[in-house]
Structure 1
Amino acid sequence: MTTVSPTPTATAADLGALDPALRRREARRVIASSYLGSTIEFYDFLLYAAASAVVFPAVFFSGLDPLTGTIAAYGTFAAGYLARPLGGAVFGHFGDRLGRKRMLVLSMLIMGVASTLIGLVPGAATIGGWGAVILVLLRVCQGIAVGGEWGGAALMALEHSESGKRGFAASFTNAGAPTGAALGTFVLGTFSALLPQDQFLAWGWRVPFLLSFVLLVVGMVIRARVSESPVFAAAVAQAEAEDARTGARRRLPLLQVLRRPRALLLTMFGGASGFGLQVLLSTFSVGYATEAGAARSDVLYAFAVASIVSIAFVVGFGHVSDRFGRRPVMIAGLVLFVLFLTPFFAMLRSGNWFVLLLAFTIALGLHGMLYGPLAAFISEQFGTTARYTGASLGYQLATLLGAGFTPTILATLYAGPGQGTSVVPVIGFLAGLALVSVVAIALTRESKDLDLATHEH
């Protein structure tokens, strides 16, 4: 494999001297690696989301009533989001010191092993509450792995790409999320449709998790074939030369980010509602449509097909943001999604598969307006020598704020204090979360034209 990374003594100015054809070829390889690696990681992570809606209440919380069991299962789902900022901080630190590539390989290894083991956890009927405890511990490992994965994958794509194409390149990392969600949901839905209910709950749901080991092997081979980020290598060489000249020591990446917390706070709040809307679709909406009378497998298949279609929206709006800017595209997506919430829930109650497919497709298409530019938007707010740490923390704190407890909150709001159920409080909560994100995005600087080689936080 041809490598295009600068030599250890390169500076940021040397990046322009790299052979353009070689750099474009390596950029394509890195983008493909980021997309496929992210797909595998999010297959594992979001497979858990679907399972927490349709499997875990019956397997690990069978002693509770259905609503309480669902809320408890969503609580284990939240454990992964609580762990993601920790993964972002740890992997970000070493990614800014040792390089992006090494951390990507390690994060994938942790995710693959944890997801495979989830498929082996005995249910409540076998070991009682210990099954739920083990499930939470493995979910935490998943969260740590994803916390480290996203930042490295996004930065590798971003820092290998040409100026003016960064939104498009980095969007492939986020496109891995709907691809992974579709793959995980399709596999889970297939076993749900083919097996009787008792067999599916006894062992069928475990097979998609056990398949994670196969995906792990594929992912490790892919990750081993890419080169280190040229922007990162040049920035480190330049920083080391400056340290040698002045005798100073570089600040820890985390301290560089926290010294000026504005970028971290704005990216955290700016991305939060996108993740709230994401888990609305992958958890609450699946249960809501099933409760309205649709077959569980039909809902899962509709969501899987819509997720595949949404890949084009994520990549397309990433490209659009290279031309019109990250902020206007993301804000427009949030406003349109909130306006669509009322008809969306009405469509979910139709029981018609094609209407369900249309509902999920429109919702995920609008979500793509936010999610497509998001990787570049967050990453571009931080300087190169602390970008892995800053971007990872900003993104993972956004997921914690927007998605960590959202399934539990939505289920609680939907049930309400009385005996009835209503989506009105659900829509109100999501609209309020979207407003917070719109304000935060509006307060950030437009970053599409920044020079990554010279920009420092």
Structure 2
Amino acid sequence: MAAATIIGTAIEWYDFFLYAAAAGLVFNKVFFASSEPAIATLLSFLTVGLSFLFRPLGAFLAGHFGDRIGRRKVLMITLFGMGIATTLIGVLPTYAAAGIIAPLLLIFLRIIQGISAGGEWGGAVLMAVEHAPENRRGLFGAFPQIGVPIGLLMSSGVLAVMTMITPGEQFLQWGWRVPFLLSFILIFVGHYIRHRVAESPVFAEISARKEVASNPIGAVLKRSFSVVLLAAIVFAGNGASGYMTAGGFIQKYATGNMGLERGPVLWAVTGSAATWLVFTLLAGIVSDKIGRRNTYILGFIAQIVGIAALFPLVNAGDITKLFLALALLTVGLGFTYGQQSAFYTELFPASMRFSGVSVSYAIGAILGGAFSPMIAAWVIEKTGSTSGVTYYLIAMAVAGLVAICLFKDRTGIPLGPDHEAEQAVSPLVFARERQ
């Protein structure tokens, strides 16, 4: 079970982060080459954010069908959608070869990635947490979470290797395509592993009782809208900072503005993905001891410290300090991410849980990560300074901190359909109504 959630999620996020990294290093040159360099970069990062706008569609579809036909089947669909889109990006013609059709095709495939990503996360975390023992949900829920930094590690690592194999212009001509084409192989690896995993025991019990909700999306939005919104803000507080690297901005800033070499920058990002993995897993374990809410509070405080140190270290123009900056940031990122699977799962009643988890995640991704690389690039272009980016990221982290303080701690609440009444009590400190 652990291997299936880790590897399956890692493969999907390898695809997603590979695009984001290539957006800052390649796509601004090969798909938007007709524009001024600064405009080309903004357009390239805009396509990164555009996919987030389609995550709610993926979340709505996955939530609806995940609460009706099961978590496992939905995960298979999202895996193929993401993998096929990524593979096709690897064979797209450039702007020089096909003109405007090239970026249009790129945008279409990125939208498919966004829909797939919107449906992937909710299913993966529920498969992990609903299989977990009550006192180890944080740990089990951290398994799909560490698949995300593993995906970043894999994508940055493969790109770094390709910069060594295809230096200079060769990388822009064809080297960047190889990591995208590798996704075709990863599809079958992910399918083999996920096919061997049993359906979530909670959904299996709901299905056996014939208690499947007819309109779970409608129910969650009608009864739990405030919970969804605040849960989304919690994730947004993490995502805005996380997408500085996962969204490709730091890679572009370090190579373009600071003049560092592409290969060492990618290796620094790869190393920081490893530290992000460690702190994400640790957060899941710690949350089983001190609760999800307390772990988040510690995490957001650490994240604010990491944000404050980020650009002073990056602006030193030294690769060692770049890695130190990114590694320090991952302490807070991990401690506001590892427990998220368990936290979200414990918020919603079993009958509409997939819908609640998926929609909260998708909205949080838009509020936090969707356009943070583009916002950062725009702020620096307009002001010539990184100070505005720092203030923006701190404001997002503070918003996440405030939002988590508005939740009760639900660590250990029973998840099965026998306890819907207990699960339906609002998790918000200021509300008494049922959800």
**TM, length-normalised to structure 1:** 0.89
CA distance in 1, matches of 2:409, 2:303: 22
Are residues 1:285 and 2:250 paired? yes
Among 194, 197, 206, the alignment partner of 1:223 is 194
Q: 1:288, 1:348 within 8 Å by CA — same for their partners in 2?
A: no
CA distance in 1, matches of 2:79, 2:400: 30
1:396-417 per-position Cα deviation (integer Å, ceiling 9, x unaligned)? 110111111111111111122x
CA distance in 2, matches of 1:198, 1:439: 47
Q: 1:236, 1:385 within 8 Å by CA — same for their partners in 2?
A: no
* Equivalent residue letter for 1:292: M
Offset of residue 308 of structure 1: 1.7
Max Rg structure: 1
Q: For 1:228, what is the secondary structure of its paired residue?
A: coil
Are residues 1:62 and 2:33 paired? yes
Offset of residue 77 of structure 1: 0.7
Among 60, 71, 80, the alignment partner of 1:100 is 71
1:72-95 per-position Cα deviation (integer Å, ceiling 9, x unaligned)? 001111121111111011011111
Among 312, 322, 326, the alignment partner of 2:292 is 326
In the alignment, what sits opposite 1:6? none
CA distance in 2, matches of 1:352, 1:408: 24
1:197-235 per-position Cα deviation (integer Å, ceiling 9, x unaligned)? 221111110110000001001001001100011112113
Q: 1:378, 1:391 within 8 Å by CA — same for their partners in 2?
A: yes
* Equivalent residue letter for 2:363: L
Q: For 2:147, what is the secondary structure of its paired residue?
A: helix
In the alignment, what sits opposite 2:388? 425
1:342-397 per-position Cα deviation (integer Å, ceiling 9, x unaligned)? 32212213333322222211111221000111111122111111111110110111
Q: 1:123, 1:131 within 8 Å by CA — same for their partners in 2?
A: yes
CA distance in 2, matches of 1:359, 1:435: 20
Q: For 1:164, what is the secondary structure of its paired residue?
A: helix
Are residues 1:138 and 2:138 paired? no
In the alignment, what sits opposite 2:173? 202
Offset of residue 237 of structure 1: 3.1
Query: Which is further off, 431-440 or 152-161?
Result: 431-440
Are residues 1:442 and 2:408 paired? no
* Equivalent residue letter for 1:391: V
CA distance in 1, matches of 2:413, 2:98: 55
Query: Which is further off, 104-113 or 184-193?
Result: 184-193
CA distance in 1, matches of 2:100, 2:344: 39
Among 264, 267, 274, the alignment partner of 2:231 is 267
% identical aligned pairs = 38
In the alignment, what sits opposite 1:26? none
**TM, length-normalised to structure 2:** 0.93
Q: How many residues align?
A: 417
Q: For 1:165, what is the secondary structure of its paired residue?
A: helix
* Equivalent residue letter for 1:284: F
In the alignment, what sits opposite 1:298? 264
In the alignment, what sits opposite 1:308? 274
Q: Which residues in structure 2 correspond to 1:158-237 (within 5 Å)?
A: 158-237=129-208
In the alignment, what sits opposite 2:218? 255
CA distance in 1, matches of 2:150, 2:214: 38
Offset of residue 250 of structure 1: 4.2
CA distance in 2, matches of 1:332, 1:415: 33
CA distance in 2, matches of 1:60, 1:131: 6
CA distance in 1, matches of 2:111, 2:374: 17
* Equivalent residue letter for 1:196: P
Structure 2: runs of 5+ lacking an equivalent = 425-435
Offset of residue 236 of structure 1: 3.2
In the alignment, what sits opposite 2:321? 355
Q: For 1:304, what is the secondary structure of its paired residue?
A: helix
